[in-house]
Amino acid sequence: MNKLRVAVLVSNDTIVVPGSLAKSILTSLSKKERLSTLTIGIIGSGNIGKEIAKKCKQFGMTVLGLTREPVPLDKRIPYVDQYKLLDELHELLGTSDYVCSVLPSTSDTRGLLSGEVFKHCFTKVQKSVFINVGRGDVTDEASILKAMRLIPSIHPFYLSLIIQKSVFINVGRGDVTDEASILKAMRAGWLSGAILDVFETEPLPTNSELWDLPGLLDNQQLPSL
């Protein structure tokens, strides 16, 4: 079997990776460069949300929209591929590469994305289900056992590369989530990044841990990009 040597910089180790796994890693990374392969989940269906959906669809992205109530067919916009209801929030988080909140501050939205809700962004590795209704000798027991047991045995470094995690964007109101929830989500690896234009407390306190959090862009950094 072909092997690929990968240097893990954090530990200065060199680990041998099976060629099939290396291919999955490289494929996953290359797909991330094309917007047309990505999905954005937009939480909030007002004018701003609709405009974001329009722009993302122009780049070929798959667009999901979260609403409180079902949207009648004649009210749906062509830029949203699928509408999700509030009780399907976990599904939107689990299938979106980017999660963009444009929610206002109401009694229904405050804290909606607090706690461990971002845990749903840490989705499982994409895997197939094998169905055999032909002849048994097209494969063998050893091959099936190996395929089923591969994922739990993958080194965490490689697993982190082929697991999809979301980037959270908040351009709505800051109290839809809170600092502790974002810190936990980022440190636990549930989110791969966060872009925040608003915060629960504004201006963001100088002693906030968010200032030094890797992978986070705030409203003071955004104008320089």
pLDDT in tens, 83-142: 999 999 999 999 999 999 999 999 999 999 999 999 998 764 455 667 887 888 888 888
Q: Assess whether pLDDT exceeds 50 at residue 10.
A: no
Mean of the per-residue pLDDT values for the chain?
78
Which sequence spans correspond to the domains of the chain?
Answer: 33-123+164-224
CA nearest to 191, candidates 127, 126, 124, 120: 120
* pLDDT tier, 37 (very low <50, low <70, confident <90, very high otherwise): confident
pLDDT of residue 35: 85
Q: Assess whether pLDDT exceeds 50 at residue 62.
A: yes
CA nearest to 117, candidates 40, 184, 51: 184
The DSSP string of the chain is: --EEEEEETTTTEEEEEEHHHHHHHHHHHHHTT-GGG-EEEEE--SHHHHHHHHHHHHTT-EEEEEESSPPPGGG--TT-SEEEEGGGHHHHHHH-SEEEE-----TTTTTTT-TTGGGGGSPPPP-------S-GGGS-HHHHHHHHHTGGGS-HHHHHHHS--EEEEE-S-GGGS-HHHHHHHHHTTSEEEEEES--SSSSPPTT-GGGG-TTEE-TTTGGG-
pLDDT of residue 82: 96
The CATH number given to 33-123+164-224 is 3.40.50.720
Q: Tens digits of per-residue pLDDT, 196-220?
A: 999 998 888 889 998 888 877 765 5
Q: Which is more confident, 12 or 64?
A: 64
